[in-house]
Amino acid sequence: MNMNRRAMLVRTAALAGASALGFPMVARAANASYTYGGSAWLGHYSAYIAMKTGLFAKQGLDIKWQSFATSSDRMSAVMAGNIDLAGTGVVSSLALMAAGARQFQVIATPNNFGRAEGVLVREDVKSVADLKGKKIGVTYASSAHVLLLDVLRQAGLNPDKDVSIINLPATNLLSAYQGKQIDAAVAWTPAFDRIKAVPGTHVLLDDTAFSLYKQYAITPGPDVLLTHAKLGRDNPEAVKKFLQAVFQANTLLTEQPEEAAGVLLELTGLSKEEQLAVIKQTQWYSAADQKALMVDPGNFVGGMQKLAEMLVSLKQIDKAPTVKDWVQASYL
C-alpha cells in the first residue's frame, strides 16, 4: 500500500499554476474512455472495484486506471488535465483551493475511515495528558499530524513544549515503535493495525476524537473524489455514471466484504485477513448518504470549510478557501 498517500501536498501552490502551461487532456477513445488516478489507499477501493467488476462498463464507461506513488503526483496530473477523475485526501485539494486552482471539482466523498487512524500508545499512557514528556512519531503534514495537534490542543498541551514530535515516514513508524525510539505513534491503516498488534499497545484515541468529527463527522483528512472541471463541463452525464458505479461498488464493500476483499488483493498486496479488516472498519457511503453529506448545505461540506479554517490556525495552509465554490453536487 502506498504509505505516502495521506501526506499533504507540499507542492500544491506550485501545482495551481500547472494548467497555465496548457497541457492537453488525455486523448479520448470513441467509446468514452476516461482515466482515473488512484493508488492502493482505501479511498480508491470503490473505483477499483467498479473497474474490476464491470460496474463502470455497465454504465457505458471505459475507465483506465493509472497508479500514482504520491498524492502530489496524482494532483499534478489532475491539474495538468492528464487524468479525468481521481481520488485524494481532502487536505491536498484544500491546499489547491487556497492557492486558487479551479481546474477540478469535488464531486463526492466515498467513505468514512474514522476508526482506522489514531494514536497508539503503551500501557502506561491512559489519557492525552499522559503524553506529556513523551516522544511521538508521526508523518509531518499528514492527516495524522493534524489529528495529533488537535487532540493535544484539546488537552491543553503545547505541541512545541510539552511533547517531542518526531517526523517519520509512515513506513518507519512500526519499526521505530518496536525499537522504542518513540513512545507513541500516530498512524493510519495498515500501519495503524500493525502497531496496534504489538503486545502491550492500545489505541488511545482515533479520528472520532478529532474536534470536528463530533459536529461534522469529518476526519482530519477525509477522502474525496474529483473530476477535472473540463470533463464536468463537457460531459456531466459521464461523471454521473461514474458516481453511480462507485456507489454500487460501495454496496458491495458493505454487503459482501469478503468478495470485495478478493478483488482488492492484487491492488493492495495485503493479506486476506488484513484486507478484510480494512474494509470492515471503514464506512462505505451509499448514494443516499452522499446527498445528505454533499448537497447544500451538506454536513460534509460544512465540515470541510471548518477543516480549512483549522488548517490555517495550525499553519498548514495560508488561507481558508470558500470550499462550496469547488463542490459540484449536481452529479449525485
The rounded distance, in Å, linking the Cα atoms of 253 and 57 is 18
Q: What percent of the chain is helix, strand and coil (3-state, nearest 5)?
A: 45, 20, 35
Instruction: Tell me which residue of 201, 205, 191, 202 sits closest to 274, measured CA to CA.
Output: 191
H-run or E-run covering 276: helix 272-280
**Coil, strand, or helix at residue 303?**
helix
- Tell me if 56 sits within 8 A of 62, measured CB to CB: yes
Q: Which residues face 185 on adjacent strands?
A: 120, 137
Neighbours of 124 (CB within 10 A): 9
- pLDDT string in tens for the chain (332-residue length): 333 444 444 444 444 444 333 333 334 444 689 999 999 999 999 999 999 999 999 999 999 999 998 888 899 999 999 999 999 989 889 999 999 999 999 999 999 988 889 999 999 999 999 999 999 999 987 889 999 999 999 999 999 999 999 999 888 999 999 999 999 999 998 899 999 999 999 999 999 999 999 888 899 999 999 999 999 999 999 999 999 999 999 999 999 999 999 999 999 999 999 999 999 999 999 999 998 899 877 889 999 999 999 999 988 889 999 999 999 999 99
Q: Please give the Cα distance from 120 to 137 (Å, whole number).
A: 10
Please report, for residues 42, 136, 139, 215, the alpha-carbon distance to residue 167 in angstroms, rounded to integers and kept in the order given: 23, 9, 5, 29
Radius of gyration of the chain (CA): 19
Q: How far is CA 240 from the centre of its chain?
A: 21
Nearest residue to 136 via CA among 168, 161, 114, 158? 168
Q: How far is CA 265 from CA 24, 41, 113, 275, 279, in A?
A: 34, 12, 19, 7, 12
**In sequence order, what E strands does 113-235 have?**
117-122, 135-138, 164-167, 184-188, 201-206, 223-228
Cα separation, 136 vs 184, whole angstroms = 5
pTM: 0.84
